[in-house]
Amino acid sequence: MDITPILALVLAFGSILLGNKLEGGHIDSLIQPTAALIVLGGAAGAAWLGATPAEMKTFFKLMPRLIKPGTVDKGKLMEDMLKVVAVARREGMLAVEGMLPQIDDEFLRRGLRMLVDGHSAENVQHVLELDMELTEHHGSAATKVAVDAGGYTPTVGILGAVLGLIHVMQNLDDPSKLGTGIAVAFVATIYGVGAANLVFLPLGARLKKIVQLDAEARAMVLTGLHGIANGANARHLEELLTPYVGHGGHKKKDDKAAA
């Protein structure tokens, strides 16, 4: 579990609230349910309107990965492919079929199964590249939901401010309602700008990075499958995959894999 998003939000909102307190402000003045309803409800509705049902579904599937990223362990992925290439060179590609249940990564398992079934390296690459591009496209489109919401919230905040001022103007003869109307007007603007720049836009950026990391792992698998299909040895395959893992990120185990 990755708690850094929670800590980041605590730092962001805590700093603002602390600064408000040091300036002599009171937190009660920032709590306006009406303003929150206008800004958050309006922005959520606008973002929903601009997205397809499939994008919304993918967006909500990505949300849990904010605190539980579930990104691919590239070191483990590299070790699996080194073991596969050792078996494939020693016993042939058909022997790899018995290793498939031990492969955790679904994308790698699918590619190996295609090679075991006799598909050419070019056919495997074509099919998996298409799958990778579509998955990345749908993931990027889903992350745009949060980015779009970040673009809408400041404008909806201004809308809330205008509504608050209209309420003030309609009740000039009743001084007891002026304070509430003015508070809603200004707080709605704060909510709009704050939600956009502290929540929605960073949220979209973080989800986008998760999608990119998934795409990078799939590109690594494609490189490994191409090497396996073309008879690369373990050392050569490791040289191909090391840039994806990073120097020092993988302990050499090709000797064990080749044993």
Q: From residue 94, how far is each of 72, 91, 102, 103, 207 by CA, in Å?
A: 26, 8, 15, 15, 39
DSSP state of 97: G
Counting every residue, how long is the chain? Answer: 259
Read off the tokens for 72.
């691919």
Band the pLDDT of 163: cuts 50, 70, 90: confident
pTM: 0.77
CA distance 70 to 9: 21
Is residue 219 within 8 Å of 136, Cβ to Cβ?
no
Chain segment 204-257, per-residue pLDDT in tens: 999 998 888 888 888 888 888 888 888 788 888 888 888 888 743 444 444 443
**Segments making up each domain of the chain, as ranges:** 1-30, 32-258
CA distance 96 to 112: 8
Chain segment 6-64, per-residue pLDDT in tens: 888 899 888 888 888 888 877 877 888 888 899 999 999 999 999 899 889 989 888 88
Concatenating the DSSP letter of every residue in the chain gives ---HHHHHHHHHHHHHHHHHHHTT--GGGG--HHHHIIIIIHHHHHHHHTS-HHHHHHHHHHGGGGTS-----HHHHHHHHHHHHHHHHHH-GGGGGGGGGG---HHHHHHHHHHHTT--HHHHHHHHHHHHHHHHHHHHHHHHHHHHHHHHHHHHHHHHHHHHHHHHHHTTT-GGGHHHHHHHHHHHHHHHHHHIIIIIHHHHHHHHHHHHHHHHHHHHHHHHHHHHHTT--HHHHHHHHHHHH-TTSS---HHHHH-
pLDDT at position 254, please?
41
CA distance 163 to 46: 18
CA distance 226 to 17: 54
Please say if the pLDDT value at position 134 is more than 80. Answer: yes
Distance between alpha carbon 55 and the CA centroid of its chain, in Å? 13
134 versus 180: the higher-pLDDT residue is 134
CA distance 147 to 203: 8
CA distance 135 to 107: 11
